[in-house]
Amino acid sequence: RSVEPRRSESRPTLELASVEPRRSESRPTLELDSRLAHTSAPQHRMLLSFAPFRALATSLLGLGSPSTVQVVGDAYLDIIAKIDELPQWDGDTAIRSPIETVAGGSALNTAVQLSALCRTRRQRDQPRPFRRCVLHSRVGSDLYGELVAAKTREAGVTLSARREGGQGVCICLSGRRDRAFVSFKGSVADLSEADLDVGRLLAPGTSHLHFSAYYDCSGLQPAVPRLMARAKAERGATVSIVPQTDATGAWEGGLLELLPHTDVLLCNQREAASIAGVAIAGRRATWYEISEAVRRLHARGAPLVVVTLGPDGAVAATEQQWWFQPNQERAVKDTTGCGDAFAAGFLFGWCGSRDVQRGLVYGCACGAAAVGITGGSEPLSATSVNACMRRNEGVQRAREVRTPRTAAAGASAEAEGEAFFSEENLSDGRVCAEADEDEDEDEDEDED
């Protein structure tokens, strides 16, 4: 197969399988491998596991074991009801949409979206591309557990899970702007190191280890420091954590002690504030509260903190630098799994390049695309992610800005923080008017 010269690109992109040259594009885009776009998940696995194909990839690309992102954490069965208002006691709330049953859980949702992204061609010019994702969890031995295992396989996820006990089930009440959960932890709370195939978790090729729903998986918490240390020492892997909500309200469990050994901490505004011990006055955090929470997390050793801002986008920060990626708000079908989709997109962009802005671009596009589907475990289409990425447009390069002061004069810090989001500082944050036209053109090319 002849090798075509690659053009220089300044933004994230994925290649089609075709060797025909594509027109020049300036925006990041996701494009499915044309051989895989219309095949089922089992067919994906058959094609990608075909021995001659693997051998050819190894000889051409210099690959040994495929670079792998290992995802560890919760696998739930989600029962989703779309509501306008929370039900009242002693009442019967009628809803218009059917109640749906899907595989769920933060780790499972993240693995589904990462696996979907891995079925696209690797990003051009990525120094550290990865080619597969494995979910490590525990699944119940009951009927609910069978449903989770079956739906996970249907989504094309490689699952390494012990089957035992009662399956964790989550009832999700999904509103237009927020959601609430009622959970039976079951297999999720019981998940421990004994349920993991550590040899597979730390297999050659492991490049990143992602712990999801840290507070939900209380039985696994004692083993996390040891697994993190082994992944770094034995494989040179990077590590990330999504804490999620601590139902006890204590926000302890040893997470703060893990921060110096974690490469990326991903959380929403309320989680970041709660872990850092910053009180939030309103329903959403102010800039001052966010910046103070991030400052405290840096002080406890977190090198990179990523905070999602809901429909507004996301920020990321080291002690020296801040990044921001705006989101263009769109119609919401279901908010379940949006944070998990963001985590998958961020890891996909960041793990392959160590480029924080690239991670935010992919993360916000995936998170925005996720509000258009029900549940978090339906693989996102490349077309929907493309469209969201173009509409977001956003900041295309990291900007060095001063961190807002967090002295006693809170008003001053608040004003400085607001200036960070000003039009002058975010001059590239604009919506691309021709997005729909370009999307139609890409769809025509995919068909060709």
- At 2, the pLDDT band (50, 70, 90 cuts) reads low
Helices in 98-182 by DSSP H: which ranges?
Answer: 106-118, 143-154
Neighbours of 40 (CB within 10 A): 11
Among 132-136, 289-293, 421-425, the minimum mean pLDDT is found in 421-425
- At 328, the pLDDT band (50, 70, 90 cuts) reads confident
Per-residue DSSP letter, 195: G
Burial of 21 (0-12, 13-18, 19+ CB in 10 A): exposed
pLDDT higher than threshold 60 for residue 369: yes
Question: Distance of alpha carbon 95 from its chain centroid, rounded?
Answer: 30
> How would you label 377-397 residue by residue, b for 16+ Cβ within 10 Å and e otherwise?
bbbbbbbbbbbbbbbbbbbbe
Please state the φ and ψ torsions of residue 341, each to the nearest 5 degrees: -65, -40
Mean pLDDT, rounded, for 73-84: 92
pLDDT in tens, 230-276: 999 999 999 999 999 998 899 999 999 999 999 999 999 999 999 99
HEC readout, 298-338: HHCCCCCEEEECHHHEEEEECCCCEEEEECCCCCCCCCCCH
As given in the structure block, the two tokens for residue 416 are: 């400085």
Supply the pLDDT for residue 439: 40
pLDDT in tens, 333-350: 878 889 999 999 999 999
Which of 244 and 51 is assigned the larger pLDDT?
244
Supply the pLDDT for residue 54: 43
Straight-line distance from the first to the last Cα atom of the chain, in angstroms, rounded to the nearest whole number: 19
- Those residues with Cβ within 8 angstroms of residue 163's Cβ, 6 or more apart along the chain or in another chain: 138, 139, 140, 141, 145, 149
Query: How far, in Å, CA of 302 to CA of 318, rounded?
Result: 8
Does the CA dihedral 124-126-132-138 come out positive or negative?
negative
Does residue 61 contact residue 138 with C-beta atoms inside 8 Å?
A: no
Does residue 43 contact residue 403 with C-beta atoms inside 8 Å?
A: no
Mean pLDDT, rounded, for 92-121: 90
pLDDT higher than threshold 60 for residue 29: no
100-104: strand order across its sheet: 100-104, 76-82, 169-174, 179-184
- Measuring CA to CA, which residue among 351, 343, 361, 431 is closest to residue 398? 361
Query: How far, in Å, CA of 207 to CA of 266, rounded?
Result: 18
